[in-house]
Structure 1
């Protein structure tokens, strides 16, 4: 049993991380932005007492000292899983809305842990494929992405558009974590988890159709009829189920072999067109909402797309990836439960 601080506990990935931590017998304090969110999470886990599930209010992760109190615990923490970071495209100021919360949030946790939580031996950080991909290369069919790749983006690129700003935020946040480890030499080890598009079941007590994670909004839009005339371009062409992402976080915390490593956590390639076909096959009730066979957009590019290497996550973390069809079916079922 490990005493764990989980940041951003009401987030899409974090909610699944919390489930796995509790099921595996760990003791968790999770940060939330409000008491209301703490109450909702508590209600969903009624069998766990305060010794197994407790809460710390952190209203603004972009403040330098946001986690100063949250990292203090009795009994003391032995690990931190940091998932709290903005992922949305509702941006007016990329530095204020995305870059600062991501970078300051990450370095703030690490500084607070080093200063106030000397018993912590492991910190796992949610990063992203956005910190791996090189957008300037386009589809890059001759390349295979792995943990060795870094997005070359700089702060200046954040002002290009919202997607660029998000990618820069994830890249700079992860780089700031590795820089911290190198310069500060803390007595804890770090792992980062780098997922691409994350699909999978939504946690019902936290979600409505309006409050979905950005990836699952695609599935929502498809079943609400927003893709009937045209299937939008896929973009990233690689995906993963949220349950595998959550398990990767917990395994990275538990396994010493994961120390000081990045993990590109992906199940492989997909296209938006394939997503539509899975929904069509399993959910006839959405037939009139989906694009007809004459709509040919949303597939793979003619020249092909990049390949992915997920061997590190398979061999070190032991992840056996959930298939695409199961992930999409489970997602749609969970969306139906919240009103789709």
Structure 2
């Protein structure tokens, strides 16, 4: 498999996003140069400021619309690796195709650009999701890279616009990832690069993206803040969200590290890799962890739930492939929780929320 040489130039799409900024940081710390794809100059200013000590090793690539034909034609020229974290922002309403079509185009578009202009490219690392692997969390199943979320696709096919928003979202992830694998198979005689697909579950942890208040966070980081600080839980259809499995989880820093290692390790080429530190949690797990920290790093409210309450049985997520091909050692739930609460405290009053006051 192709190997991305050290000190290469790497294109990171969605570079100003939750996972993207951490990926840029790790790449720069490793000695790479980064071409950060963002939708406008304004959206790239935080990156240029935050990483100013790296000088011209970080440059912006302005891609206003990733769905436009040839959107990445210029951005892929002269780079050795791509980390593709960007996904079109589309409202999950109406017919499933309204989200599926942009999701597929967001992946195949950059691959078409790479096919035409990526003459020095060695590998594309694509951010997919556990949503492409699993649908429900409350059955006794061990999920591996062999699994696909067929249930969501079937629901969308049968119910069309009446499918649930979650089914539409999951189906878009399935279709987009399959389109990537199909593209490689179709063009395998023409390309000198390969792909690695990473499937993270819920991504939590400290944020270094531009966000001046919790409401500006990306969806998963905001879900964590709302749950742990406010006690507002994303139930995903459960009648008892406190003890219902909330999905697998991974620290955003480990997720970003996995993206970089997927570039660096030749054997990771052509692999689909689940990037999950923990099997589906219940929110009470995080509540108990947050409230047990000593010393307590956060001076705002912390939801308590029902300490010691009964927890449902969970399915499991097999992440042995990540250990084998990426050598990842995951941060624990306690590490993630402590570091994230310290991050909230450090950011100031907008983040130190006292519920009821």
Whether TM-score is above 0.5 comes out as yes
Alignment length (residue pairs):
326
> How many angstroms apart in 1 are the aligned matches of 2:121 and 2:201?
28
Q: Which of 79, 82, 98 is 2:81 aligned to? A: 79
> How many angstroms apart in 2 are the aligned matches of 1:95 and 1:66?
24
Correspondences of 1:275-314 after superposition (within 5 Å): 275-282=286-293, 283=296, 285-287=299-301, 290-291=303-304, 293=306, 296=309, 300-301=311-312, 304-314=313-323
How much does 1:309 deviate?
1.0
Equivalent in the alignment of 1:274: 285
Tell me, which stretches of 5 or more residues in structure 2 are unaligned?
1-6, 234-239, 352-357
How much does 1:48 deviate?
1.4
Equivalent in the alignment of 1:247: 257
Equivalent in the alignment of 1:148: 146
Equivalent in the alignment of 1:237: 247
Asked whether the equivalents of residues 280 and 286 of structure 1 are also in contact (C-alpha less than 8 Å), the reply is no
> How many angstroms apart in 2 are the aligned matches of 1:205 and 1:314?
31
How much does 1:125 deviate?
0.2
Alignment of 1:172 onto 2:178: no
Equivalent in the alignment of 1:199: 204
> How many angstroms apart in 2 are the aligned matches of 1:305 and 1:260?
30
Asked whether the equivalents of residues 248 and 277 of structure 2 are also in contact (C-alpha less than 8 Å), the reply is yes
> How many angstroms apart in 2 are the aligned matches of 1:91 and 1:226?
25
Asked whether the equivalents of residues 31 and 57 of structure 1 are also in contact (C-alpha less than 8 Å), the reply is yes
> How many angstroms apart in 2 are the aligned matches of 1:226 and 1:98?
30
Asked whether the equivalents of residues 81 and 121 of structure 2 are also in contact (C-alpha less than 8 Å), the reply is yes
Asked whether the equivalents of residues 62 and 100 of structure 1 are also in contact (C-alpha less than 8 Å), the reply is no
> How many angstroms apart in 1 are the aligned matches of 2:271 and 2:178?
13
CA-to-partner distance for each residue in 1:281-308, whole Å, 9 max, x for gaps?
2347345x52454895xx642xx22111
Q: Secondary structure at the match of 2:55?
A: coil
Asked whether the equivalents of residues 231 and 273 of structure 1 are also in contact (C-alpha less than 8 Å), the reply is no
> How many angstroms apart in 2 are the aligned matches of 1:106 and 1:130?
16
Q: Which of 153, 163, 167 is 2:166 aligned to? A: 163
Equivalent in the alignment of 1:40: 46
Asked whether the equivalents of residues 223 and 286 of structure 1 are also in contact (C-alpha less than 8 Å), the reply is no
Q: Which of 212, 215, 219 is 1:210 aligned to? A: 215
Q: Secondary structure at the match of 2:53?
A: coil
> How many angstroms apart in 1 are the aligned matches of 2:198 and 2:160?
22
How much does 1:224 deviate?
4.2
CA-to-partner distance for each residue in 1:304-328, whole Å, 9 max, x for gaps?
2211111110121010000011112
CA-to-partner distance for each residue in 1:111-154, whole Å, 9 max, x for gaps?
0001011110101000110111144xx5221x211111111143
How much does 1:220 deviate?
1.5
Structure 1 residues 105-114 or 205-214, which shifts more? 205-214
> How many angstroms apart in 2 are the aligned matches of 1:145 and 1:13?
23
How much does 1:238 deviate?
1.4
Tell me, which stretches of 5 or more residues in structure 1 are unaligned?
none
> How many angstroms apart in 1 are the aligned matches of 2:231 and 2:254?
28
CA-to-partner distance for each residue in 1:65-105, whole Å, 9 max, x for gaps?
22122222xxx1111110001478x5334657632332101
